[in-house]
Structure 1
Amino acid sequence: MLTATNGAPYLGCGLGVALLAFTSWRDDTHPLSPQLRLLVQLISASLACLPLLFSINVNPLWGAAVVLGIMWLINLYNFMDGTDALAGAQGLIFTLGVLMLFPEYGSAEALLLIVTSSAITAFLIFNWPPAKIFMGDVGSTVLGLIFGFITLQIAETFNQLAACLILLAGFITDASWTLAARFLNRQRVWEAHRLHYYQKMARKFASHKAPLATYLLLGALVQWPLALGALHATSWYWTLYLLAAITIHALLCWQYRAGLTDPKDCLASPETFTSN
């Protein structure tokens, strides 16, 4: 495992979480500029990953790529928190998947996974449709940072990295596809919208439970087995498992025209299933 010999990575992650949570809380109550939010995300991601990367002498270019990757995970998790219990369900797919499938991890990683999954489970009791409380930017951005940190801590091989990405494939694929589609169609990608496939699915079935059930079923019946396959794949065959997980969610993006505006999207009320 890419584990430092001291507690610096966990101290850095804790500081990053605290900074990101405070800023996200301020943004929830008094909207902040996108530039300030991105700066805070850059600092938080750097605090979470650079102590570990420096301790193992990672090339600075790879270090920069990791920081940008974690920043994207922070943002996409925020984008995808738009219907009841979905972000929590994705969180359990990841944390429980790592706890069950990975061959080994340190006691610190196990504790972080158990605490995070327990907190998510408790939250879901009140966030289950119809939700009584909501995650907000504080919860969604922090989960994105924590999952990026956990991935960095336990992914020693490409197989293990692929397994982590497979467990997060739903959010990664929908958010990336939707952003790309909106950019290519010259939409204002920084503005709130209702164009993710999970949002369109929720509108089609007039229920938050439709995307929630889809994610839970795909996570347990498809992504967990694919992640297990990637962990034990020989040579570069882990790419096939990762591609399969991405393709399944990409097909749903294609089916629901994620990122593209339809007439019925224009008629939907602005407060319904909106992503930041």
Structure 2
Amino acid sequence: MLSVPFVIAIMAAIFLTPGVRFVAARTGAMDRPDGQRKRQKYPVPTLGGVAVCVAILLAACVAALTEVPVGGLVPVLLSSLIICLVGAYDDVFNLKPRWKFVGQIIAVLPIVMAGDAVDRIWVFGTVWDLGMFGKMLTVLWLVSGINAINFLDGMDGLGSLTGVGLSVAAAAIAVITDRTEIALLALIHAGALIGFMVYNLPPARVYLGDSGSMLIGMTVSYLAIQAPRAPGDALHLGVAVALLTVPILDTSLAILRRALIGQDVWHGDRRHMHHSLLGHGMSRWAVLRFLAGLFCVTGLTCFISVAIGVPALAWLAFCGVPAYLFAGHYCCRLEWELAKSWMRRVRVIKNRSSAAKNQ
């Protein structure tokens, strides 16, 4: 029943992407090498997210003609369209960060206002009623997810692979929680990205652009809070955060790193997780395989956690993956050294202040 929209999404993305590449080239939406952060050999068209978004909408329309219920997906599909348009405008005209942030908030409002906000969360055996804060926290979660994938997507195929890995895991979880509509959204999202990856894997012939990375971020963060629970049930927070372990870790490290060196949070660098893995001697394909393995670990752990009714198990993946990466020197080491250096400076300043008071 869900296979037809999934296949339609794949085929639509395959056929739509070349046209989007042509439009991107004509409108100047090109990612050009600068010898610093952008080190590809030639300019690459962006706007790939437009093809992904249209493929998702087409697949949803096909699903509406079958027995699959799609009425509940109208708000998130509307939000998908809005965030894609915001990203596409940024790809062509370079929005300032504050206006992009405003656009992200506007984009997620249809989801929240339609009643898809999280009103209760389950944490270590205790249910917390969020009340009026539920909507605000849901907006914060979705916008954070949008920016997490936007930060992470810095290598050929990486954003697409992330979206596929997280969506497939969410689809499997949604099946065992009887969320047919959520499973459908996850599958057509994964399908559209699989079709797009035909052109996006190394060496990429088209990039997602902000239109695609922000669309993926919003969709996977939405799936993470919807798939693990039945309507009206409390959200198992551990499952939601564990599904997004890799994006959360990469974004947290980026914010910490930039804060410790006094750099603007929105200023890009070449110290993300995939940069660390490349510096570890991996090829781009090896990095994608390595991260795909991490997505399998977190996704499977979350699936088992929901299936056997032990949400706390998901926290093991959320804590275990960073521990493994740190122990293997794959990432986190730079931030650890920066944090230790910062703490030493704080102690020196405190000791000087104490000495001055005693004089």
Equivalent residue for 1:83? 155
Counterparts of 1:250 and 1:170, CA distance in 2 = 13
Counterparts of 1:152 and 1:61, CA distance in 2 = 16
Equivalent residue for 1:254? 332
Q: Considering Cα pairs closer than 8 Å and 6+ residues apart, tell me whether 1 or 2 has the greater RCO.
A: 1
Q: Does 1:129 align with 2:202?
A: yes
Query: Residues 38 and 8 from structure 1, CA distance in 2 versus in 1: closer, same or farther, beyond 3 angstroms?
Result: farther
Q: CA deviation at 1:68?
A: 0.7
Post-superposition, which runs of at least 4 consecutive aligned residues in structure 1 deviate over 6 A? Answer: 54-57
Q: 2:183 aligns with which of 110, 120, 138?
A: 110
Q: Which has the larger radius of gyration?
A: 2
Counterparts of 2:272 and 2:216, CA distance in 1 = 19
Counterparts of 2:305 and 2:317, CA distance in 1 = 6
Counterparts of 1:55 and 1:219, CA distance in 2 = 24
Q: Does 1:67 align with 2:142?
A: no
Matches within 5 A, 1:1-276: 10-53=73-116, 59-102=131-174, 103-156=176-229, 160-205=236-281, 207-220=283-296, 222-231=297-306, 232=308, 234=310, 236-249=312-325, 252-255=330-333, 257=334
Query: Residues 11 and 224 from structure 1, CA distance in 2 versus in 1: closer, same or farther, beyond 3 angstroms?
Result: closer
Q: Secondary structure at the match of 2:163?
A: helix
Contact 1:166 1:227 in 2 (8 A): yes
Counterparts of 2:100 and 2:263, CA distance in 1 = 21
Equivalent residue for 2:24? none
Contact 2:149 2:216 in 1 (8 A): yes
Contact 1:166 1:223 in 2 (8 A): yes
* Aligned-partner residue type, residue 293 of structure 2: L
Equivalent residue for 1:273? none
Counterparts of 1:99 and 1:7, CA distance in 2 = 15
Q: Deviations over 1:37-86 (max 9, x none)?
A: 11111111222233224797961212211211110100110111100111
Q: CA deviation at 1:194?
A: 1.3
Counterparts of 1:55 and 1:94, CA distance in 2 = 20
Counterparts of 1:7 and 1:101, CA distance in 2 = 18
Q: CA deviation at 1:92?
A: 1.7
Query: Residues 250 and 116 from structure 1, CA distance in 2 versus in 1: closer, same or farther, beyond 3 angstroms?
Result: farther
**Identity, % of aligned pairs?**
21
* Aligned-partner residue type, residue 133 of structure 1: V
State the number of aligned residues: 254
Q: CA deviation at 1:238?
A: 4.2
Q: Secondary structure at the match of 1:253?
A: coil
Query: Residues 179 and 22 from structure 1, CA distance in 2 versus in 1: closer, same or farther, beyond 3 angstroms?
Result: same
Query: Residues 250 and 37 from structure 1, CA distance in 2 versus in 1: closer, same or farther, beyond 3 angstroms?
Result: farther
* Aligned-partner residue type, residue 119 of structure 1: A
Q: CA deviation at 1:127?
A: 1.0
Counterparts of 2:311 and 2:294, CA distance in 1 = 26
Counterparts of 1:67 and 1:56, CA distance in 2 = 12
Query: Residues 235 and 96 from structure 1, CA distance in 2 versus in 1: closer, same or farther, beyond 3 angstroms?
Result: closer
Q: TM-score scaled to structure 2, two decimals?
A: 0.63
Contact 1:226 1:241 in 2 (8 A): yes
Contact 1:93 1:167 in 2 (8 A): no
Structure 2: state its 5+ residue gaps: 1-68, 121-129, 339-359
Counterparts of 2:235 and 2:208, CA distance in 1 = 31
